[in-house]
């Protein structure tokens, strides 16, 4: 009798989700500045934001409406969405292959290292992966029954994935590649109801496209700037670093199996057409982002969308080869590492890890940072404006000072004088000089000579080191700026 049954899979999904939510509730971690910025977006719903499509803001708006603005509540959507994603992967693989492949696919996906890690934070990747998993399920339905409803459902999921992150286009590119490579792919998409899929996709994304047009395609421009193609070409070290990180995102057994399956598909061409589909939606993404890292840079999560489709492909490959123990070993290994990560998370303020490998130093001591700012305001104030030119510091302070700014303390503004706005806060919180103002300037990078010249008087008054780790401080530099020049 096999231990892996539908009931046990659902219990595993429910149990891990509860554990992940409990870990969030007990976690001492502050919001990462990007998370704080997403929370700030959620306070004013829109069809787009400076650097990302709108779904992450909508999701946080929904979760905070239920349980408030604490870090655990802001992040609560991630474990819930990953649970839904695992269910979609199970349902999709079950339809594409069989019940056993579906069960293993759902379990493997639920326990991927990247899923364990991203369950502890709120990010654009989480809803993206969940909606791509839903799109796989909808595609499986459309493959079996080319009805107008299934076609519209497919477009709907891809559209919502696009609203989560523009990396959804990678998966759409994989579908096109599948149609070019296989007769089955062409047979699926050269059907009249595919028009409904395209129509529902366009209907979902239309308002975001209009928002971008009205705002000078600012999100698209930021995404292109993020690629940093103007940097020095050929960085083999960064390419190796990115590719090596994928073993930590997808897992060593699974990633090696993915490329072994790819070699088999190329050499022998004896894999089912649906496996070619999954390879087309995953392998080019990993290789393409590795190429991006080679010519510029890439973060480990940039290829995350590949692993939704890669999971059922690798599960089929290992089951077809009689390697169930490899799958079980992978699930056990990932679970042990993931649970160990949660233990470290709960003790994040107590660990003293080696510099350079500490995963927590960017998500601790932001409350202490805000308290330091408040103390300086209390001892040196009053001030008309709290000013910064640091996007991450501003995002963290917007969150940590949410009950203080404008009531007990001055409004927080972003310095930006020339050129296109470099970040969300240069648009949302621009500093507009007013004669006679007394401004407290704070940043992490020293006395602001270029900014100081824009004021009649400028004086550096303090430097504060907020302990993050025994080997690292977060240093704040404070200056008083008085009577700004006209812009």
CA distance 439 to 428: 19
Task: Indicate the SS3 state at residue 26.
Answer: helix
Helices and strands, number each (H, E), in the chain: 23, 5
pLDDT tens-digit map of 216-246: 888 777 776 665 555 556 778 889 999 999 9
Structural tokens at position 306: 């590949």
* Residue 217 DSSP label: T
- Every domain of the chain and the residues it spans: 6-218+324-346, 366-484
Indicate the pLDDT class of residue 368, thresholds 50, 70 and 90.
Answer: very high
Task: Write down the pLDDT at residue 270.
Answer: 87
Q: Return the closest-CA partner of residue 345 out of 32, 10, 80, 83.
A: 32
Position 219 scores a pLDDT of 79
Give the per-residue pLDDT at 355: 55
Kindly state the helix (H) or strand (E) to which residue 399 belongs, with its residue range: helix 391-400
Residues 6+ apart with CB under 8 A from 343: none
Supply the pLDDT for residue 286.
Answer: 96
What's the mean pLDDT when you consider all of the chain? Answer: 92
Please write the tens of the pLDDT for every residue from 288-344.
999 988 888 788 899 999 999 999 999 999 999 999 999 999 999 999 999 999 998
Average pLDDT over residues 126-151: 97
**CA within 13 Å, CB half, 119:** 32
**Closest to 285 (Cα-Cα) out of 320, 250, 315:** 250
For the entire predicted model, the pTM comes to 0.94
The sheet carrying 412-414 orders its strands as 412-414, 385-388, 438-443, 472-484, 455-469
């Amino acid at each position: 009798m096999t231990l892996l049954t539908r009931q046990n899979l659902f219990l595993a999904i429910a149990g891990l989700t509860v554990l992940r939510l409990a870990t969030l509730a007990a976690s001492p971690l502050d919001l990462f500045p990007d998370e704080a910025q997403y929370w700030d977006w959620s306070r004013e719903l829109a069809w787009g934001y400076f650097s990302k499509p709108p779904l992450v803001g909508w999701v946080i708006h929904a979760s905070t409406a239920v349980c408030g603005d604490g870090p655990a509540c802001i992040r609560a959507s991630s474990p819930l969405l990953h649970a839904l994603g695992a269910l979609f992967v199970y349902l999709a693989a079950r339809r594409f292959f069989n019940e056993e492949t579906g069960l293993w696919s759902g379990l493997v996906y639920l326990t991927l290292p990247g899923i364990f890690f991203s369950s502890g934070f709120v990010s654009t990747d989480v809803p993206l992966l969940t909606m791509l998993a839903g799109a796989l399920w909808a595609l499986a339905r459309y493959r079996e029954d080319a009805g107008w409803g299934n076609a519209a459902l497919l477009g709907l999921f891809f559209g919502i994935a696009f609203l989560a992150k523009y990396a959804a286009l990678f998966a759409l590119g994989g579908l096109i590649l599948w149609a070019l490579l296989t007769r089955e792919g062409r047979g699926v998409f050269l059907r009249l109801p595919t028009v409904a899929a395209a129509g529902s996709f366009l209907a979902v994304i239309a308002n975001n496209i209009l928002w971008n047009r009205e705002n000078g395609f600012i999100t698209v421009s930021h995404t292109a700037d993020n690629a940093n193609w103007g940097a020095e070409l050929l960085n083999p070290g960064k390419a190796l670093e990115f590719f090596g990180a994928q073993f930590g995102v997808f897992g060593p057994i699974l990633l090696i199996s993915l490329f072994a399956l790819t070699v088999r598909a190329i050499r022998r061409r004896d894999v089912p057409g649906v496996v070619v589909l999954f390879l087309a939606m995953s392998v080019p993404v990993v290789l393409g982002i590795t190429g991006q890292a080679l010519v510029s840079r890439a973060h480990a999560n940039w290829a995350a969308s590949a692993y939704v489709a890669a999971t059922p492909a690798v599960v089929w490959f290992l089951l077809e080869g009689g390697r169930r123990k490899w799958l079980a070993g992978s699930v056990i290994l990932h679970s042990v590492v993931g649970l160990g990560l949660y233990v470290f998370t709960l003790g994040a303020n107590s660990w003293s890890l080696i510099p350079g490998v500490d995963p927590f130093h960017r998500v601790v001591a932001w409350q202490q940072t805000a308290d330091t700012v408040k103390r300086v305001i209390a001892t040196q104030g009053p001030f008309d404006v709290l000013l910064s030119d640091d996007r991450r510091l501003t995002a963290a302070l917007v969150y940590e000072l949410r009950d203080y700014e404008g009531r007990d303390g001055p409004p927080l503004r972003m310095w930006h004088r020339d050129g296109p706005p470099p970040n969300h806060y240069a648009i949302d919180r621009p500093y507009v000089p007013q004669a006679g103002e007394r401004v407290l300037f704070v940043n992490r990078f020293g006395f602001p000579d270029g900014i100081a010249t824009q004021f009649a008087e400028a004086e550096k008054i303090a430097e504060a080191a907020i302990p993050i780790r025994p080997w690292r401080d977060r240093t704040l530099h404070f200056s008083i700026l008085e009577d700004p020049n006209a812009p």
